[in-house]
Structure 1
Amino acid sequence: MPPRVEGLYAVTPDGLDDARLFELAAAALAGDARALQYRDKSGDAARRLRQAAALRRLCGEHGALFIVNDDVALALQVGADGVHLGRDDGDIAAARAALGPDAVIGASCYNRIELARAALAAGASYVAFGAVFPSQTKPEAVVAPLALFAEAAALGAQTVAIGGITPANAAQVAAAGAGAIAVIGGLFDAPDTGAAARALAGCFTER
């Protein structure tokens, strides 16, 4: 049985050098991020392997889950806890077969409950909806209404919200029933990543 993805789910920004990436990731984890997703679209295989392996060790030190974005082979190579797949990132059933029954497999479902149903049937551990708020990372993203989290809960799904989430609006998402909030800019662009992480994580202890 895969572990649950709950609370603050940090997603790394693209393009950071090693020192800055590891510094910010450590601050997020110290601030009670319960999972961290490595997202790097550079195509530099050596860089991705080096950074993913280091982040995997860091997550282990903090007792947090380590998830790789869209790369099942890299997840296997570094012993990640799982993988997150977007619409064009590969087959969920194939990822489940490759990673095994205990892996976390997340699926982007955008603003469509029918995608969530299909992802769960294929073996996804959690379904992600977003953007729940306007996103600087993906300004073209569709808007996902907060009502989707109650609909997905009725399916028995673990749910993750993403898109434009900050310490100022995260409580709305937690109150709507999201099991976790995936945050990039609202966490890593903050003046104090650790303080932002604590504020974001706190939305789940208060509900």
Structure 2
Amino acid sequence: MNRLSGLYAITMDGIQGGALLAQAEAALGGGCRILQYRDKSSDDQRRSEEARALLKLCQAHDAILIINDDLDLCLRSGAQGVHLGRDDPDLQSARRRLGGDRIIGVSCYNDLQLAHTAAAGGADYVAFGTIYPSSTKPAAVNAGLELLQQAKSELDTPMVAIGGITPENAYPVIQAGADMVAMIQGLFGQNDIQLAASNVTRFFQSIRGNP
């Protein structure tokens, strides 16, 4: 099984402690394969504790923990990788610090050439978005299904689609070539997180036969 495929959940801003772990447990129980811990606060102790607790949950569900943009937190917590955006450390310096075993994903927005550059530089996956209008990042650039289809034909590197994706609109995104669909509000804003995750997981099973 390709580890970099399936539902990719990103934690919500402002959700901490027990509520954070409960949401993560529900997503993982529904088949989430990759969980990204995203917390931009300056509380390093709490962030370290939460990252380690999330890592234990991920390990129990045979899932991957990715840390958003923080190389130090990735190393402290033992997480399997990091996700880098436009304003984060560059791919080469991140690889030097993290070594060859950890996963590094790179946001490529709606820029296919940026994805080619990241792939050539050793990124383990590239992320395109926003696919649909997003309440999390309403000003984000648009990257539609056509871009996913083109990227799928040109790149061997696994792709994440992000932005406005919900259980109701995820199916065509997977059909267009996304190896992973990233969800924040579309997952954690649901009344039944585990059911929502299970529905998206079934889409991957029906289209790809995985995860």
State the TM-score, normalizing by the size of structure 1.
0.96
Aligned length: 205
Q: Distance in 1 between matches of 2:16 and 2:75?
A: 23
Instruction: Tell me which residue corresponds to 1:28.
Output: 27
Residues 4 and 158 of structure 1 are in contact (CA less than 8 Å); yes or no, is this contact kept in structure 2? no
Structure 1: gaps (5+ residues): none
* Alpha-carbon displacement from aligned partner over 1:46-73 (angstroms, at most 9, x marks no partner): 1111111110111011100010000011
**Deviates further, 129-138 or 142-151:** 142-151
* Alpha-carbon displacement from aligned partner over 1:79-105 (angstroms, at most 9, x marks no partner): 111000001111111111221222111
Instruction: Tell me which residue corresponds to 1:62.
Output: 61
Q: Which amino acid aligns with 1:168?
A: E
* Matching of residue 178 in structure 1 with residue 178 in structure 2: yes
Matches within 5 A, 1:1-207: 4-153=3-152, 154-207=154-207
Q: Which amino acid aligns with 1:190?
A: Q
Identity of aligned residues (%): 52
Secondary structure (helix, strand or coil) at the match of 2:130 reads coil
Secondary structure (helix, strand or coil) at the match of 1:206 reads helix
C-alpha deviation, 1:155, in angstroms: 2.0
Give the aligned CA root-mean-square deviation in angstroms: 1.0
Q: Distance in 2 between matches of 1:22 and 1:60?
A: 13
**Deviates further, 21-30 or 137-146:** 137-146
Q: Distance in 2 between matches of 1:188 and 1:28?
A: 8
* Runs of 4+ deviating beyond 6 Å: none
Q: Which amino acid aligns with 1:44?
A: D
Q: Distance in 2 between matches of 1:167 and 1:54?
A: 27
